[in-house]
Amino acid sequence: MVQAMRSRNVLVTGGAGFIGSHLVETLASEGHRVTILDNFSSGSRENTLGFEAAGKARVVKGDVTHLMDLEGPIQDCDAVFHFAANPEVRLGDPTVHFETNVRGTFNVLEAMRSSSAKEIVFASSSTVYGDAALIPTPESYSPMRPISVYGAAKLSSEALISARCESYDLKGIILRYANVVGPRLSHGVIHDFIEKLRANPRELEILGDGSQRKSYLFVKDAIDATMTCWTRTRSNFEVYNVGSDDDIDVRSIADIVAEEMGLREVAYRFAEGVKGGTGWVGDVKFMRLDINKLKSLGWSQRHGSRDAVRLSCRSMITRTS
């Protein structure tokens, strides 16, 4: 269990999104006063309606790319959970990642300068490591060579936060998430497979050669890890890998999705147009994080990668059936 913390005023950017909305739910249940800032570009208004109706969170429509949208909501906050981002790793336009994921982080830090907020928890990504030569990959791994603009934007944001923590006496916690899955997920390989099989239950196109292998973490475990890091980190700046001890390949994910949808004899068609058998340019083929540092805080996962995929698949099928 995560130790109790006195009630705080917190701002969650991207609080209507997949991970953000689950985080808001936990923060509110533990008595924290939550403000959500979201532009609803990838987050859903549905994810916030229950919080508003119950009086557990205040929702402000705003965009982190606009500094003025942050200045009001952040004023009386003690801490900021910065989860607003464009979540598409394979997005074609690099300008979107720069504006939303880098400039957005810069604006959050700027707004913090004139507010009472002295802590920032940032949702980073395993993509900052690129094609790591060491697996499982520890936080100390170098050189950091992202192979996607998304990963580069996350690493840039980490650097901005590190510099601000040193220069302005802020507390910063960087969370490098693996593939987080679960209820409310609206993108990624599980979502894509379900949609493809609904369109054609006999054949499934799989991007890459199917051998891509990565770790998956159920969202409830990810939120528990997030709260553990926030409540138990004592230094002014720390980086944590947030993932699972195991991994699963893409073909096995396809098997689970087909099974959960009650489909048999689905023909797999592999689209191997990218060198190395990855799904797209910038896709990391193999990823598993070293999570010993996170475990040292007392956290442990409840679900492995395979269970996380299956539970996520079930929730998505039930939600849209």
Active site residue 150: yes
What DSSP element (H or E) covers 222? helix 219-232
* DSSP three-state, residue 10: strand
Residue 252's closest CA among 226, 215, 298, 202? 215
- Indicate the SS3 state at residue 102: helix
CA 39/CA 45 separation, integer angstroms = 10
In the chain, which ranges are E strands?
Answer: 9-13, 33-38, 57-61, 79-82, 119-125, 171-177, 179-181, 203-207, 213-214, 216-218, 237-242, 248-249, 267-271, 286-287
Q: Which of 129, 141, 150, 216 is catalytic?
A: 150
Contact 181, 217 (CB under 8 A): yes
Q: Is 276 helix (H, G, I), strand (E, B) or coil?
A: helix
Residue pair 317/194 in contact by the 8 Å Cβ criterion: yes
Q: Which residues are catalytic?
A: 150
